[in-house]
Every structure is written in C-alpha cells, then in structure tokens.
A and B are shown apart, each in its own frame.
Chain A
Amino acid sequence: MEGDEDKDNLSSVKHIVVVLSGKGGVGKSTVTVQLALSLRQAGKRVGILDIDLCGPSIPRMLNLQSKDVHQCDAGWVPVYADRERTIALMSISFLLENVNDAVVWRGPKKTALIKQFISSVAWGELDYLIVDTPPGTSDEHLALVEGLQRYSIDGALLVTTPQAVSTGDVRREITFCRKTGLHILGIVENMSGFVCPHCEECSNVFSKGGGEELAKVCGVRFLGCIPLDPQLSHSLEEGRDFIEEFPQSATFTAFKHLAQAVERGPP
C-alpha cells in the first residue's frame, strides 16, 4: 500500500460518481454509459471505470471489445471511445486475451485489481469519473470505497427496476452506502413501462413506481424513470451513440435530466 501513496492519478479528476445497485441486470452499465454520453454532450471530459470483474459489459456497449491497454510512465493508458478523447474507459476486458475467458477469482484477487485500477490508470484531466459496479455489497464495493477514501466522492447513483424483488435489494445497498459513509445522489427507476410499437399501449412489464416509493421510504432523492426502449438495447448492443442517434425519444430526455441532476451534485 505504501508504494501507492506517491502515485496519484486521480488528482486531476474533479468529480467521482459511483453507479450502484444491489440487484443485477437492472441497467447499471446502461445508465453509466448513457450518463457518460450525456455529460460529454454537455462538454465534459468523462472517464468510466468498470469494476465488474466477472461480467464487464461496458466495452461492448461502447464498441471497444477488442482494444488493449498500454503502459505509460504514469501508469495504464485507458481506452478512448472517440478521437477527441472525451470518453476514457478502463475495464478488465482489455486485459483478457479471449472475450469468453472467465475471471474465476475470489475476493482478495479482485480487491487487488480494483486497488490497482484506482491507483494506476493515467486518466489525465477529467470532469467526471463514473464507476460502474457489479451487483451486491461485497468485495468489489468495499475495495472501491476503501481505495477512494482519500478522494471526495460526489456520491452514489442507485439504479433499480420497478419490481419489489429489485427494490428490496436496493434497500440493502442504501444501508451499505450509509454504513460506509457514501452520499446518495438519488435513485433512478429503469425499465419502467414499455410502449408497444404496434398499438402504442404502455405496459408495465416489470410493474411501476417501485423506485419512487423506495426513494420516499428511505428519504432519498428520486431522479426519474427511464422507460424500456428496444431502440436503446439495440444501440447498446452495437455500441452506437444512442444520444446522437435518438434525441427524440423519451429515454433521451430521461437521461438528460439525470445528467443535470448529477451536475447539480448532492442535495
């Protein structure tokens, strides 16, 4: 640990936001990517740190699966999503030889890599560093909070889907944030409502309103609903810039509001 003290690659990072959810598959990585793209649209330089070591999704969403990480004097050079270098990404995918390789690691090894991600990625100057996390409240989360202790984290963005099965896990994540002293920026409800492309009828595929209710019960800010949008999954599958392609959709407005809420900072 002592050796890392003099290395400080996060000193020129202005804001750090952590995207959390107790539950898997609720859209943490989707929200991370869209938030990054929205902030970029507002003229910010954004870095994404993907600490989901067993199931990294961000590289595919940004169409960067086959990229490699290089070494420089300051540490690892992150992979840039655009030529202007406004979005930088670091993920374990870049360190794997084959995309199907499984990272079968127990806690201590994961903790070590996350600490290394925190200390030795040469982000350069960033307005925002967004950290995407795996589901749960375990090794990765503790390693992140410990590793970022000496920096000021803006806070955590909690993502949930509307069902009780999901909000139940997010409740536990709120307890995690309170126990570890992480500010909560607010709760986002993802996948709320699906508009049938044939008849325009909106069905609540995963029920509705759970996120808002949870926010009320726990006294946390509610940051809005993001509807289910097959166009969004399509564009994420292919790694296209959703925000440049679909500025008309309801999802776009939802993400723009979210980015503004993050820029305003904690309540």
Chain B
Amino acid sequence: MADVPTDAPQHCPGTQSEQAGKSSACQGCPNQSICASGLPKQPDPAIEEIKQKMSTVKHKILVLSGKGGVGKSTFSAHLAHGLASDESKEVAVLDIDICGPSIPRIMGLEGEQVHQSGSGWSPVYVEDNLSVMSIGFLLGSPDDAVIWRGPKKNGMIKQFLRDVDWGGLDYLIVDTPPGTSDEHLSIVQYLSAAQIDGAVIITTPQEVSLQDVRKEITFCRKVNLPIIGVVENMSIFICPKCKKSSEIFPPTTGGAEKMCQELNIPLLGKVPLDPQIGKSCDEGKSFLTECPDSPATVAYRNIIQSVKEYCSSHKVSDK
C-alpha cells in the first residue's frame, strides 16, 4: 500500500507491485509506461546518493520514542550541546518532526531561514561547530501548519539528507516525531546504506509511556536498528522550596529500569524534572550552561558520555 501515489487512479496496484503498469487500473494513467518498464521496482537511487553524502559523517544517532512529549527534542538539543562543547567536534541536529518541529525554538533559532548555496541548503549554525536543519526554517510564520500526508513528508526527509550541505561531521543527531510510521521508516530506509550507529530511546516513568516505548523497541528490532540505550526523563521532581523529591509521573510498573531489565537493553540514565529545563528550552538556551550544578545537568553529562563511548567502541568493532 505504501507505494501507491496519492494522486494515483483508483485501484492502483502500487508502483512496487508485480502488476505495476499492467493492471486494468493502469490504463490511461500518465505514468503507466514508467511503471511497466520496471524502473520503480529498483531501490530508490536516493539511498546511494545519501550514502555518498553521509560518507563525511562519522556517527549517526537517532533519538526515538513511541510517545510524544517525553523530551525527545530536549534531549536531542542537549546531546548536541554536550557533544559540541568539545570544540574539536563538528555536530549537527536534523529535526525530522515535520508536523511539530520544536528544535528551532529549543536551540534559540526561531525565525531563522535556510540559505541556498552551490552545494545545497546551508544549515543554520548555533555555534561554529553546531548546525541545525528543521522544517521550521522553511515556514513563513509560526502559524503555518504543515498538513502533509506521508509521501510528502518522506520527500522532505529525503531532501534533508541528500540536499543539505552538512560538511564534515563527527555527529549527526536525528530528532524524530512520536510513533512508528512514515518518518521513522523513511529515515531508517534512506540511511540503510549509510548505516546508523544506533538509537537513543526516551521515555517517562509511567506505564502509559512505557507501553508506547515497548512498541518503539519492537520497531527497532524489526528494522534492525541497534539500540544505544534508554533515557528515563522527568524521573523525580525536586521541590525548589523544600528540596524534597516527589514523583509527578509515578513509575507504577517499575519505570524504565524494569523495562530495560526485561528487554535486556542498557539504561543510560535518569534525568530529574527541573522546571529550569523547560524554561531554558522556551528561551532557546542550553540548560547545561545555564544551570551547570543542577542534578539534571549531571545526569545529562553522564548520559552524553555513555553515548560518546558507545559511538567510539561501535566504530572500532565495525572495522
């Protein structure tokens, strides 16, 4: 079903089907001869082009979660800030949440525009060694909604990977929308030849969130995407007045810790809920430099260190 174009005639068998270009529904379709030639059945040539383009990118990390609003973009942004604090590393963030891009605001880039250069779209730079690409930069106003069905979203993701002038990168962090649908299948498919180091999965402690995250883990296993580990976000809340902790989102089923044990996945860490995190995100600043002493910063730094270690050991074992 996935390969039926949105503007196809009724009963289109799909461009990948054996019947493509041959069935009765194909009569009169302007693309009939293309389908009949068998060309569409070959793998998308973009995959090879993307592999070429990505040959200068050392590590590719996906940030995933089945559930929305658990802190994928917040984590992606801070992982990028953390990795980029080493000035010798080149880091980039690619936001493929097409319908709800949050990265521009979290990284303080709202209202920025993308420029076209000879070698493709230039990403927007936060710092000399930290660049960002998001659909947010292509929209005219904050009211603009991207009301797109799957195929159009996939086209955009393909363009982001193929046509953005990333330059040489040490880390490319891909922030994703919630769910297990078009965007996720496309990014994994387009990067299949270029190879993804792995995925960091974000969750909150409640079962309502964990049940979606388990689905995401099933997805990773289905598409053979290695899992770097799980981050439990919004774990506990420390009252700024009395300094006592409470559980806003109670881990009634043992939280991420138990899930990781059951599914045999590493738990990278737990990040406590600090009201300052949300505030920093709204203001587009890095929480890590705004509140260097917060327990949440310490947790972030430890997780970033684990991701770094995973990536360096991963490459060695590959060779």
Interface residues of chain A, those whose CB is within 8 Å of chain B, are 22-26, 29, 54-55, 57, 60-61, 99-112, 134-139, 141-142, 161, 163-166, 168-169, 171-176, 179-180, 194, 196-199, 201, 203-207, 228, 230, 233-234, 236-238
| Known A136-B177, A234-B252; contact A60-B69, beta-carbon cutoff 8 A | no
Q: Is B68 an interface residue (CB 8 A)?
A: yes
Interface residues of chain B, those whose CB is within 8 Å of chain A, are 1-2, 4, 66-70, 73, 98-100, 102, 105-106, 142-151, 153, 177-182, 184-185, 204, 206-209, 211-212, 214-219, 222-223, 237, 239-242, 244, 246-250, 252-253, 273, 275, 278-279, 281-282
B interface secondary structure, majority: loop
Most chain B CB atoms below 10 A, which of A61, A106, A173: A106
| Known A26-B69, A55-B212; contact A134-B179, beta-carbon cutoff 8 A | yes
Of chain A, the residue at the smallest CB distance from B104 is: A168
A199 to B100, CA, bound (A): 37
A55 to B185, CA, bound (A): 16
Contacting pair B99 A107 (CB below 8 A): no
Contacts of B219 in A (CB 8 A): 102, 104
A203 to B275, CA, bound (A): 8
Most chain A CB atoms below 10 A, which of B145, B239, B273: B145
A198 to B98, CA, bound (A): 41
A104-B180, A104-B185, A134-B178 given; 5 more Cβ-contact pairs under 8 Å: A60-B211, A103-B215, A137-B147, A161-B69, A236-B206
Contacting pair B149 A54 (CB below 8 A): no
Of chain A, the residue at the smallest CB distance from B263 is: A100
A108 to B215, CA, bound (A): 20
A236's partner among B98, B182, B208, B215 (CB-CB below 8 A) is B208
Contacting pair B215 A55 (CB below 8 A): yes
| Known A107-B151, A137-B146; contact A54-B68, beta-carbon cutoff 8 A | no
Contacts of B143 in A (CB 8 A): 171-172, 174-175
A55's partner among B67, B204, B222, B275 (CB-CB below 8 A) is B67
Contacts of B105 in A (CB 8 A): 164-165, 168
A135's partner among B68, B142, B249, B281 (CB-CB below 8 A) is B68
| Known A106-B150, A139-B150; contact A198-B250, beta-carbon cutoff 8 A | no
Contacting pair B252 A194 (CB below 8 A): no
Contacts of A198 in B (CB 8 A): 239, 242, 244, 246
Contacting pair B211 A57 (CB below 8 A): yes
Contacting pair B215 A25 (CB below 8 A): no
Contacting pair A108 B212 (CB below 8 A): no
B66's partner among A23, A54, A105 (CB-CB below 8 A) is A54
A106 to B70, CA, bound (A): 23
A176 to B185, CA, bound (A): 25
A24 to B248, CA, bound (A): 18
| Known A55-B67, A230-B250; contact A60-B208, beta-carbon cutoff 8 A | yes
A194 to B208, CA, bound (A): 20
